[in-house]
Amino acid sequence: MNDILSFVFFFVGLSVLPAQSRSRIIPPEGFYLEASSLARQEPEIRLEETVGEWYVGEDDQYLRGTFAMKDSGSPVRPLVVCLEGSCYLLDPVRTDSTVLYFAPLIECGSICVYRIERQYPVQIPIRAYNPVNGRPFIESSVERRTSTLQLMMWNPQTDDHDILTTTNYAAWTGADDRSSMRESDLIKGIRTYNLIFAHGGAPPKQD
């Protein structure tokens, strides 16, 4: 019964929120070195304390760059970068270069949402055919790499990550998971959830 009531109040909350409060939650600009820092919205390093080179890709919206402390020149490897009204989460997989890759946070708050690109190898079959009888006489395969985009949830308070599905969304928010929801609806629901718990913190996810 409590879960049903929480689900009702959760979505009723969207209609009673002031119009000016329905925008995204944007933490203060700066570099966050730990997940708990973002949960508190307290960056350890201010932007003006650093120097660096960075850009945002047009296709994937990833932030790519390098950063260092302005006074010492020491490299900075933040977990989250917030600047110009957007936040980016360090990609833990793309670590094969000196350039840091950061996935954009679509939503930021008690529950963050990000879309991350994953690359994986696939085997492509190759066959050579006999021009006389049309039968293959050579069969082999070649490895190619392909990529996919995965929508993820992240709780900065616990540093838990999970795929954004209707079931996981329900477990994290206490909502009803009996029906499938579109990605856009899940994101809107998390935005509302973040606004409701913006000051009190999110309750623990349900097992």
Between the alpha carbon of residue 49 and those of residues 4, 28, 45, 72, 141, the distances in Å are 48, 15, 7, 10, 52
Q: Which residue bears the tokens 């718990």?
A: 197
* Burial class of residue 102 (count of CB atoms within 10 Å of its CB; 0-12, 13-18, 19+): buried
| Tally of residues, the chain | 207
Query: 161: which residues sit within 8 A by CB, 6+ positions away?
Result: 152, 153, 154
Positions in the chain short of pLDDT 50: 1-22, 200
pLDDT digits (tens, 9 = 90+) for 38-50: 999 999 999 999 9
Rounded to 5 degrees, what angle do the CA atoms 51, 54, 59 make? 165
Q: What is the pLDDT of residue 38?
A: 93
Backbone angles phi, psi at 54, to 5 degrees: -155, 160
Q: What is the pLDDT of residue 2?
A: 40
Q: What is the pLDDT of residue 66?
A: 93
Q: Which amino acid is at 74?
A: S
